[in-house]
């Protein structure tokens, strides 16, 4: 049995950052309350000024800028390349991370997950019409930067996503699945595989 949830951007709850320096829109998570206890979590953060990131000990993070000019992260003293829109950058939640904005505020998209509990894969897709995506993870999420992104699962249209909406597809099996995405713009495809 497959459970499908259309998560709408207007419904995302706002939560404070762990370090108290800002707030996050939480898209989805697997479990837990507050800022702890989850195995995976998707969120959006508005970053208005340079500064330190919150630590998430025991977690892995993948961050991508979705609006703005750019940022550079210094992770445990080592600067990253300049990160632009849709550049995915992975780092340990245990690390000391500082963010330097390159030219004004940005908005970023975050996947935080426990590598002891999940294997995760995130990819950005630039769409110009219809695209086919195959995968076998039991949990998929499609995060849309397009307005009017049609999502079909096994030939059936299951949702039309607006800007910043997310579709969560959760099945009991890891059988090969086909998603078709039809729209103009970009989306993130996240696959999460629970570890035994």
Are the C-beta atoms of residues 170 and 30 closer than 8 Å to each other? no
Mean pLDDT, the chain, integer: 91
* Domains of the chain with bracketed CATH: 12-113 (2.60.120.10), 118-194 (2.60.120.10)
Residues forming a β-bridge with 24: 15, 45
pLDDT digits (tens, 9 = 90+) for 98-112: 999 999 999 999 999
Residues 6+ apart with CB under 8 A from 105: 46, 47, 48, 49, 68
DSSP helix, strand, coil percent of the chain (3-state; round to 5): 0, 60, 35
Rounded Cα–Cα distance for residues 1 and 5 (Å):
13
Render pLDDT for 27-85 as a digit per residue (tens, 0 to 9): 999 987 666 689 999 999 999 899 999 889 999 999 999 999 999 999 999 999 999 99
């Amino acid at each position: 049995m497959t459970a499908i949830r259309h998560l709408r951007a207007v419904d995302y709850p706002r939560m404070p950052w762990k370090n108290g320096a800002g707030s996050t829109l939480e898209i989805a998570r697997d479990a837990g309350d507050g800022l702890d206890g989850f195995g995976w979590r998707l969120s959006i953060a508005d970053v208005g000024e340079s500064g330190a990131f919150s630590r998430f000990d025991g977690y892995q993070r993948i961050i991508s800028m979705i609006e703005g000019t750019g940022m550079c992260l210094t992770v445990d003293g080592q600067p990253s390349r300049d990160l632009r829109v849709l550049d995915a950058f992975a780092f340990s939640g245990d690390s000391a991370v500082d963010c330097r904005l390159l030219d004004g505020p940005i908005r970023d998209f975050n996947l935080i997950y426990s590598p002891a509990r999940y294997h995760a894969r995130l990819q950005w897709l630039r769409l110009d019409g219809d695209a086919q995506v195959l995968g076998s993870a039991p949990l998929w999420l499609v995060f849309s930067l397009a307005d009017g992104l049609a999502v079909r699962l096994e030939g059936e249209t299951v949702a039309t996503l607006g800007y910043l909406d997310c579709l969560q597809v959760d099945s009991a099996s890891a059988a090969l699945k086909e998603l078709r995405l039809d729209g103009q713009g970009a989306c993130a495809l996240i696959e999460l595989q629970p570890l035994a």
